[in-house]
Amino acid sequence: MTPRGPCGPSSRPRRRRCPDRPVAAALLLFAACATARLPPPGVAESAAAARSWSGSVRVSVSGPEVRGRSRALLAFRRPDALRIEIPGPAGARLVAVVRAGRLVAVLPAERAFLESEATAADLEALLGVALSPEELMDVLVGKAPPGLRDYRAEWGKALPRRVDALLADGTRLKATVDDAETGLDLAEAVFDPPPHSGHRRVDADEARRLLGGR
C-alpha cells in the first residue's frame, strides 16, 4: 500500500508541494548561519554602551583613493580618547593618538610626526577612512554610525568579531577582531603619543606615503 500524506500520492488535489530536500536543507543551513551572526539578547546594547575597548584587529581598506591591509592594535576611552598602533617587524610603524579633539601621529622608524585636528577628514587624510574617532568607536562595538551606506557585524559572545562597513564615499572597511575587551580602566599614558622630540613634522600626504599608502 502506498503511504498517503502531504508528500505522497493522493487522490485529493494537491494544494502545495513539498520543497526539494536539498533546497530545504540549504534554507535550514542559511537560517542557522544567520542566527549565529546575531548577538544574543541584550549583548548589542551592552557593547554599544562600553566606555572603553582594547583589542587586536586585522583591517582591510579598499576605496577610490586607498587600498591596503594591516594588523592594528586599537584602544579607546569614550568620549574622546583613541589609540591606533600599526606594528612592524622592528617596532611600531605608526602610533596615532587622539585626545580632546587633537590627533598626533608618530612614525618612529621615519622619525616623523603629524599633528592636526581629529576630524573624519583628518583621519581620512592619514589612514584613508573617513570616520571620526567617535564613529570608529561605534563601528568596533557593533553600532552603525549615521551616513554609512551599509554596515554588517558578525557577533561573538559579547562583541563583534567581524565588521564590514561601506562608507559614504564608497570606501569599504573590513575588520576581523582577534581579541578584544571592554570595561578596562585604561591609564592616561595609553593615549600619550610616543616621544618624538627631534622628529620632523610632515603633512598627511607624506605620512601616508611613508606608511605605503596611496
More confident call, 3 vs 91? 91
Per-residue pLDDT tens digits for 33-65: 333 467 878 999 999 999 999 999 999 999 887
| pTM value > 0.85 | no
**Mean pLDDT along residues 207-214:** 78
53-211 maps to CATH 3.40.50.970: no
Q: In the chain, what are the domain boundaries?
A: 53-211
Chain mean pLDDT for the chain:
85
Mind spelling out the 3-state secondary structure of the chain? CCCCCCCCCCCCCCCCCCCCHHHHHHHHHHHHHHHHCCCCCCHHHHHHCCCEEEEEEEEEEECCCCEEEEEEEEEEECCCEEEEEEEECCEEEEEEEEECCEEEEEEHHHCEEEEEECCHHHHHHHHCCCCCHHHHHHHHCCCCCCCCCEEEEEECCCCEEEEEEECCCCCEEEEEEEEEEECCCCCHHHHCCCCCCCCEECCHHHHHHHHCCC
Per-residue pLDDT tens digits for 154-204: 999 999 999 999 999 999 999 999 999 999 999 999 999 999 999 999 999
